[in-house]
Amino acid sequence: MVHVRGETVIRCAPVEVFDFVADERNEPLYNPEMTSVTQLTQGAPGVGTRYRAEMTSKSGPVTMLIEFTRYERPTLLQSHTSLSSMEIDGALTFEPVEGGTRLRWDWELQPRGVLRFAGPLVALLGRRREAAIWDGLRRYLETGRAGERPSSPH
């Protein structure tokens, strides 16, 4: 098992950050590796909401299924993600701090196949990737572009 965690501070209110992140369809707006996200369940995000996401990788397109397993607006968003190469369980927490929100991520990755033997490399790449994703979110929200919505149909 591989553990990936980190944090960033975003100069926006926790509820704004939470609501934007909780709609996975927004991720392509701040994560250039995420090419599309489709909500598979009806209604507003909550426990049991599922998404299918497509992302690019060096080896080609990757499909993942994401399900929210805990949803406590605006402080906690827990999920389970399945990819062909691994399972990911973890949470995002949203803590008010002076001037904004401290966003923390904490993921447990269970690599499959040959990745099972590359734990330290998976951890290193995972930490870098997550830091880049959440820095992209920070930049996106702080520039005031959060009012934009994904172009894909909801």
Domain ranges for the chain, please list them.
2-145
Residue 11 confidence (pLDDT) above 70: yes
**Statement: residue 27 has pLDDT above 80:** yes
Cβ-Cβ contacts under 8 Å for 35 (sequence gap 6 or more): 28, 54, 55, 56, 61
Q: Evaluate if residue 150 carries a pLDDT over 50.
A: no
Residue 91 token pair: 């949470």
pLDDT, one tens digit per residue, over 102-148 is: 999 999 988 776 565 556 555 656 678 888 899 999 999 999 765 45
Report residue 93 as tokens: 């927490």
- Cβ–Cβ < 8 Å for 7, 105: yes
- Find the mean pLDDT for residues 15-32: 96
Show the beta-strand stretches assigned E in 40-150.
50-57, 60-72, 76-82, 86-97, 100-111
Q: Are strands 34-39 and 2-10 parallel, antiparallel or unpaired?
A: unpaired
Looking at domain 2-145, its CATH superfamily turns out to be START domain (3.30.530.20)
Q: Of the ranges 13-17, 83-87, 129-133, 148-152, which is most confident? A: 13-17
pTM of the model: 0.86
Residue 151: the pLDDT is: 40
